[in-house]
Homo-oligomer: A and B are copies of this chain.
Amino acid sequence: MSWDLKSDRPIYSQLIEQIEIKICSGIFAPGSKLPSVRELAQEAAVNPNTMQKALSMLEEHGLLYTNRTSGRFITEDIKMIQQAKQKLAQEQISEFLEKMKSLGLNKTETLSIITTMLEEAKK
């Protein structure tokens, strides 16, 4: 469980992103119980207040729910998770293409760079 947090952005915001990703990718399975706020905070080397902030904000998205004293749980609604995953992927892609465009790279140039990078990665 890697939590590499950078200092150029609010930590709580990065935590939200990463937890969301862990849910969407199945690392945090549907219906399963999350580690406690204190545990997660220690894992991520972060103050419990900060983790608490991230988790409570994440609940607004509906991917989590809280049982007051037994802990937090991932939603069992697989369809909701699937939708969140799809939404995350599309956001990333369009954001990425937008940046490439602003750099002045047309589509073929972008594709060519990607493919060469993937070729490099195979070696």
Contact = CB atoms under 8 A, between A and B. Distances in A.
B90 A113 contact: yes
A100 interface: yes
A113 B92 CA distance: 11
Nearest to A119: B107
Contacts of A96: 92-93, 96
Q: How large is the interface on A (under 10, 10 to 19, 20 to 34, 35 or more residues)?
A: 20 to 34
B9 A104 contact: no
Contacts of A80: none
Interface stretch (A18-26, A28-36, A52-60): A18-26
Interface in A29-48: none
Contacts of A93: 96, 113-114, 117
Given A8-B9, A96-B96, A103 B89 contact: yes
A97 B117 contact: yes
A115 to B, nearest CB: 7
Nearest to A21: B102
Interface of A: 8-10, 13, 21, 24-26, 85, 88-90, 92-94, 96-97, 99-100, 102-105, 107-108, 110-111, 113-115, 117-118, 121
